[in-house]
Amino acid sequence: MFPSRFKNVLDFFTRLPSLGPRQSIRLIFHLSSWNKSDLRIFGESIIALTEMKTCPMCFFIHENENDLCEICNDHNRRKDIIAIVEKQTDIVSLEQTKKMNNHYFIIGDIKRNFAASANYERINILKKRIDDTLSGKAAEIILAISPTTYGDIITGTLTHELFDYAHKISRLARGIPTGGDIEFADEDTLRNAIDNRK
Output Rg (C-alpha) for the chain, integer angstroms: 20
What is the pLDDT, as a whole number, of residue 187?
83
Distinct helix (H) and strand (E) counts, the chain? 9, 6
Class of 54-195 in CATH: alpha beta
Between helix 21-32 and helix 4-13 the angle, nearest 10°, is 130
The Cα 135–Cα 124 span in angstroms is 15
What is the pLDDT, as a whole number, of residue 150?
81
pLDDT band at 13 (very low <50, low <70, confident <90, very high): very high
Q: Give the residue with greater pLDDT, 90 vs 2.
A: 90
List, for residues 113-167, the tens digit of each pLDDT value: 555 555 678 899 999 999 999 999 999 999 999 888 888 888 898 999 999 999 9
What is the pLDDT, as a whole number, of residue 126?
96
Inform me whether the pLDDT recorded for 111 exceeds 70.
Answer: no
Length of the chain: 198
List, for residues 157-175, the tens digit of each pLDDT value: 899 999 999 999 999 876 6
With a pLDDT cut of 70, the percent of the chain lying above it is 92
List, for residues 54-90, the tens digit of each pLDDT value: 999 999 999 998 899 999 999 999 999 999 999 999 9
What is the pLDDT, as a whole number, of residue 117?
53
3 state SS of 148 = coil
Report the predicted TM-score, pTM, of the whole model to 2 decimal places.
0.81
- Per domain, the residue ranges of the chain are 4-51, 54-195
What is the pLDDT, as a whole number, of residue 121?
86
- The β-bridge partners of 169 are 141
What is the pLDDT, as a whole number, of residue 112?
61
Architecture of the domain defined by 4-51: Orthogonal Bundle (1.10)
